[in-house]
Amino acid sequence: MSSPTGALETHATSLYSKITSKTSKKHDHNLFLTFRDVSKTDLEEAFKSQSKEVARAVLDRCFKVREQDQSFRADIVSDFLLNALLFCISKQMTFEKTSTFLSLLHETLHESVVARLSPGSSFDFFKKLLLQHCIQRPPFSVGVFSHQDLQEVQNYAMNTFFRHYKLYQYVYVTHQVLIVKQRRPLLLSVPAPAPLSEDLPEIEEDEEVLHLLSDPQHALN
């Protein structure tokens, strides 16, 4: 009888092969996200403060949320990351798992916006990154998340980011506006024709012809 770990590895490997075949042509992101954006020191600072505002500031700094955008879009990303951090805390995830999950969500959001991915393609991209961190098989994948973690983080992403995916698209994806202008038709001025009386040649009156026209019966005889 196979162990749960072995079953997870087999299932994840199969899914990873299918997803990679779909996305490798467009997205060559063979990334290991653990401590790439959020270091252990950053998480210690956020956890020890026990303040949402301090935690938000730490995440904004790590992901450079407000470097180029100070609008409401930056606020949405900031809330997006803070809520993900609170989820990790509620599940008592380690620093390694928390850092990986935060970067995974941020990477999915970024790729979805830049590449204008459909909801299905975005979810495939998310699953590909997730499975890269579920199996300890370097250099192809690392075992950060357990089978239980896999289910929990996937459910969280489905109930938050992917449930409101179209709203994120509306906010972040650049819209192209088609402007239609109506113009008056071009009218060419055509000179008016000359009166017919001016074009016809003058006909000399013939008395005999006029007589015949006035008396048709006489003309027949």
Q: Answer with the residue of higher pLDDT: 54 or 211.
A: 54
pLDDT at 184 over 90: no
Domain encompassing residue 147: 4-172
- 200, part of any domain: no
Alpha-carbon gap, residue 200 to 144, rounded angstroms? 102
- 144, part of any domain: yes
Split into its structural domains, the chain has a count of: 1
- 209, part of any domain: no
Share of the chain above pLDDT 90, in %: 57
pLDDT digits (tens, 9 = 90+) for 21-73: 444 444 444 469 999 999 999 999 999 888 999 999 999 999 999 987 888 99
- 118, part of any domain: yes
- 179, part of any domain: no
Alpha-carbon gap, residue 96 to 75, rounded angstroms? 25
- 66, part of any domain: yes
* Predicted structure pTM score: 0.67
- 189, part of any domain: no
- 202, part of any domain: no
Alpha-carbon gap, residue 82 to 176, rounded angstroms? 31
